[in-house]
Amino acid sequence: MRILLTGGCGFIGSAVVRRLIAASDHIVVNVDKLTYAASPEALEGARTHPRHLLVQADIADHAAMREVFATHRPDAVMHLAAETHVDRSIDGPGPFVTSNIVGTYTLLDAARTHWESLPAAARAAFRFHHISTDEVFGALGPGDPPFTETTAYDPRSPYSASKAASDHLVRAWHHTYGLPTMVSNTVNNYGPWQFPEKLIPLILINALEGRPLPVYGDGSNQRDWLFVDDHAEALVGVLERGAPGATYAIGARQPRSNLAVVEAICAMLDARLPDPAGPRHRLIRFVTDRPGHDFRYEIDPTRSEAALGWRAAHGFEAGLARTIDWYLANREWWEGVRAARYAGQRLGAAPAMAAGVGA
């Protein structure tokens, strides 16, 4: 297939590109705006592979998207481009509305025009896979069952509301126009190449430098954690084997509280690079919770596992160990990101992260 993949220089998108190039014969047209969170370096060997083409463009630009479809004539779309950081959405929701809602509409409009122009066999084979989040379902209480494909939507932040809107648009284009769309919702991802403002890399970097590890509230908020390469495998499975109109809830069965994640990072880092000042657990600081902080997210992936023949391969401890080792071995990358994108601010004091961290 010739796949038009949006956001392929982001954290999850780059993992999908790497997998598509390494484990298939598909051609990837990677459309990315190259915003602050993009890292073309994360494409690794796929960056210069003959089956990969990077196109710098904004998915909210109608003319640009129509040109991309007309030029490259894709057989499928994997839509990952999005603004994703909850704290940033609280500070400034505008870009989330533009990218996640307007951008998805623009892409759907261009995809529909392209799809309607295809011969019958190509129309039947075409797929539009929209990648979303479990945050659209709202918050779970301590004893609530995990989210599934049929959980009602109840978004609580500007970020999750914008993603919920984009999910609804995708399904509307399927039911109204017949565009063969699929939606997948997933849990918190982690792994190599994640932008340093996210929970795991931020805590790791702060701990390395002996700085405070600010945790929202009492750290009891819980998330399910999925290693990014496992997610990439599942996403390719949805594209290749998914049914139009279907939803796939992709989870890892690895729930942890934010505090447990921070403590695990401290312990693994202490084992690798002991701090003469003492165990890094001493650096944890509990700070005022962020507005509307959802207590718990968790997905029951049973139906998706059966439909895709997939299950997350990495337990949390094994995946976290791989992640920590990668950041230790690739300090030049994250130091460069920090220097270039925070203009002299220390990472922990950047506006989106000043109050604390939580997933």
Question: Known catalytic residues?
Answer: 134-135, 159
Q: CA dihedral in degrees (101, 107, 112, 118; nearest 10)?
A: -160
Sheet containing 222-227: order of strands? 188-190, 222-227, 255-257
- Write 202-205 long-range contacts (CB < 8 A, 24+): 202/347, 202/348, 202/353, 202/357, 203/261, 203/262, 203/265, 203/357, 204/265, 204/269, 204/323, 204/324, 204/327, 205/327, 205/334, 205/338, 205/347
Q: Which residues, including other chains, have CB under 8 Å from residue 234's CB and lie 6 or more apart? A: 184, 186, 248, 250, 304, 308, 310, 312
- Give the tokens for residue 38: 């993009």
Residue (of 259, 253, 249, 267) closest to 320 by Cα position: 267
Residue (of 97, 98, 111) closest to 69 by Cα position: 111
Give the three-class secondary structure for 311. coil
Residue (of 174, 179, 207, 203) closest to 190 by Cα position: 203
Sheet containing 181-186: order of strands? 52-56, 27-32, 2-6, 76-79, 127-133, 181-186, 247-250
Place of tokens 């944890």: 284
Give the chain's count of helices (H) and strands (E).
Answer: 13, 12
